[in-house]
Amino acid sequence: MIIADEPTGNLNSATAKEVMATLSSLKTHDREVAGLTDRRIHLRDGSITEDAEVEHQPAVAAGK
**21 within a domain of the structure (yes/no):** no
**49 within a domain of the structure (yes/no):** yes
**Residue 58 has what pLDDT?**
54
The domain in which residue 40 lies consists of 30-55
Contacts of 38 (CB under 8 A, 6+ apart): 53, 54, 56
The tally of domains found in the chain comes to: 1
**2 within a domain of the structure (yes/no):** no
Coil, strand or helix at 7:
coil
Number of other CB atoms surrounding residue 19 within 10 Å: 14
Provide the 8-state DSSP code for 47: E
pTM over 0.75: no
Coil, strand or helix at 52:
strand
Confidence of residue 17 (pLDDT cuts 50, 70, 90): very high
**16 within a domain of the structure (yes/no):** no
- Beta-strand ranges (E) seen in the chain are 39-44, 47-53
**38 within a domain of the structure (yes/no):** yes
Confidence of residue 55 (pLDDT cuts 50, 70, 90): confident
**63 within a domain of the structure (yes/no):** no
